[in-house]
Amino acid sequence: MFKRTTAINKIKKMEARKKVVQGSTSAGKTHGIIPILIDKCIKERGIKVTVVAETVPAVRDGCVDIFKSVMGDTNRWIEDHWVGNPMEYTFGSKSRMQFKSFDSVGKAKAAGKRDILFINEGNHIPYPIADALMTRSKEVYIDFNADEEFWAHTEVLTEPNSEFLSLTYLDNEACPEEILEELRIKKSKAFLDPDLTEEEGLLHQSNVKDAHWANWWLVYGMGRVGSYSERRIYQFSIVNEIPEGVKRVPRGMDFGSSPDPTILIDAYVDGVEIYFDELFSENNLIPEKLEGAERKSVVDRLNEVAIEEVKKAHPDLVFDQEDGFYLEKEGKDDTEEQKRIKGLIRNYKAWMIVGDSSGRTQLIDMREHGWNARGVKKPKGSKFGGITQLRGYSINVTKRSKNLIEGFQSWNWKIDANGKIITEPDGHEPDGLAAARYIILSKPVW
């Protein structure tokens, strides 16, 4: 039976355009947002509301079920107003609520504009897709359990006109007793004295019985940001920048063909610490440089990066010619400043790039244009071996490396029917992670 909870009241008070709702399990986040959206559709004429989840089954078994339940409990459901394919309900006000999933930025853009967007379990939606949807929405709701910090924290909440709300199961008076019992069981697994308050030292290390369940309780009991996901293949940290004094090792490059981008990353090591910095991630690059081509080639983009990075590293330099001039060989009429710039760019291009050996055309073209490029050796079993080697490092990623961060966050081990983790990657290796793996596989040439 529908019940107006504290969670609903708190969500209704949010006023910013982008409303970020973080919470514990059974906090009533989705059960709070859906009734609010229903109310808006009834009271406002002709608005379009889009509810998005990671997959079609996720949106159907989650938000659609809740929507139908609330509509039924409040005697508002009219069967003829519902279209199952696509999943969409039209209200008497001519407002529409549609339930969707998007697997590409292109499809998200093609869906057009809307009045209200609700991203359910936002931490499972890639940021580029979420960004494409939010850009085309007047009002946005995002909810999630915070297994870890992700784009809602690092992107949305750093923007103006955004608002944050944290909820727990205590805000949900409709939480079933059996769920409350399960939560008490989990809390007793986590702490020696589960009755302590946070101020009394509930989370103190001396009170932690089991680190896994303590982290679980932090996320799913208290609605806080957790520190890891057990299924994730790589654990990593986000750093502001590459620290001084670390050793630079070869760059890594993964060649992509649409819709996968080509990615270049820098790498540095300091003992067991490894640092990655994404230099670019770009789609639709052609494999070799061609005169008159409408699209940029891999070499064109690399040359742009070389100039960008030299300018950033040497802000005292005066570039008095077009950038392309500095990619040419030194001429007898060059000034000393121009020779110095060309020398720095030449040195930048001389640092080794390790790329996918299957990108033979790209590698040859890179070498022909002065880049020190080589293909990685990939003997049988090298993919899993590279993963294992990389997992042996403490991985750090610069905060500007958005595609790498998204990849490290999203790639998980498979689980079996009993929920047990299987050491086999689940799905395609995310963009950029192959480039990091190539760096590790090239360790003999460091």
Identify the pLDDT of residue 48.
Answer: 98
- For residue 229, is it within any domain? no
pLDDT tops 70 at residue 341:
yes
Query: Which residue in this structure is represented by tokens 């910090």?
Result: 149
In the sheet where 394-398 sits, what is the strand order?
A: 236-239, 394-398, 273-282, 262-270, 247-254, 353-355, 373-375
- For residue 231, is it within any domain? no
- For residue 227, is it within any domain? no
Examine the domain organization and report whether 167 and 182 are in the same domain. Answer: no
- For residue 96, is it within any domain? yes
The Cα 300–Cα 424 span in angstroms is: 37
- For residue 359, is it within any domain? yes
Q: How many domains does the chain have?
A: 3
Examine the domain organization and report whether 214 and 242 are in the same domain. Answer: no
DSSP letter string, 314-371:
-TT----S-GGGGGSPP-TT--HHHHHHHHHHHHHHHS-EEE-TT-HHHHHHHHHTT-
Identify the pLDDT of residue 416.
Answer: 75
Examine the domain organization and report whether 30 and 81 are in the same domain. Answer: yes
The 10s digit of each residue's pLDDT in 195-226 is 999 999 998 878 888 877 888 898 899 998 87
The Cα 252–Cα 446 span in angstroms is: 12
Examine the domain organization and report whether 159 and 17 are in the same domain. Answer: yes
The 10s digit of each residue's pLDDT in 344-367 is 999 999 999 999 999 999 999 999
Examine the domain organization and report whether 290 and 421 are in the same domain. Answer: yes
pLDDT tops 80 at residue 230:
no
- For residue 59, is it within any domain? yes
DSSP letter string, 16-83:
SSEEEEEE-TTS-HHHHHHHHHHHHHHHSTT-EEEEE-SSHHHHIIIIIHHHHHHHHHTT---GGGEE
pLDDT band at 149 (very low <50, low <70, confident <90, very high): confident
Residues 6 or more apart whose CB falls under 8 angstroms from that of 170 comprise: 6
Select from 91, 33, 40, 42 the least CA-distant residue to 66.
Answer: 33
Examine the domain organization and report whether 134 and 202 are in the same domain. Answer: no
Q: Comparing 99-108, 145-154, 171-180, 242-251, which segment has the lowest mean pLDDT?
A: 145-154
The Cα 374–Cα 354 span in angstroms is: 5
Task: Domain of residue 249: give its range.
Answer: 236-445
Q: Give the alpha-carbon dihedral of 275, 281, 286, 291, to 10 degrees.
A: -90
pLDDT band at 50 (very low <50, low <70, confident <90, very high): very high
- For residue 113, is it within any domain? yes
Examine the domain organization and report whether 17 and 80 are in the same domain. Answer: yes
- For residue 1, is it within any domain? no
Examine the domain organization and report whether 243 and 216 are in the same domain. Answer: no
pLDDT band at 229 (very low <50, low <70, confident <90, very high): low
Examine the domain organization and report whether 305 and 335 are in the same domain. Answer: yes
Q: Comparing 46-50, 69-73, 257-261, 439-443, which segment has the lowest mean pLDDT?
A: 257-261
Q: How many CA atoms lie within 13 A of 312 on its CB side?
A: 8
The CATH number that applies at residue 271 is 3.30.420.280
Q: Comparing 17-26, 183-192, 206-215, 371-380, which segment has the lowest mean pLDDT?
A: 206-215
pLDDT tops 80 at residue 420:
no
Relative orientation angle of helices 360-368 and 298-313, to the nearest 10 degrees: 50
Examine the domain organization and report whether 268 and 356 are in the same domain. Answer: yes
Count the neighbouring beta carbons within 10 Å of the beta carbon of residue 384: 12
Examine the domain organization and report whether 42 and 132 are in the same domain. Answer: yes
Examine the domain organization and report whether 24 and 162 are in the same domain. Answer: yes
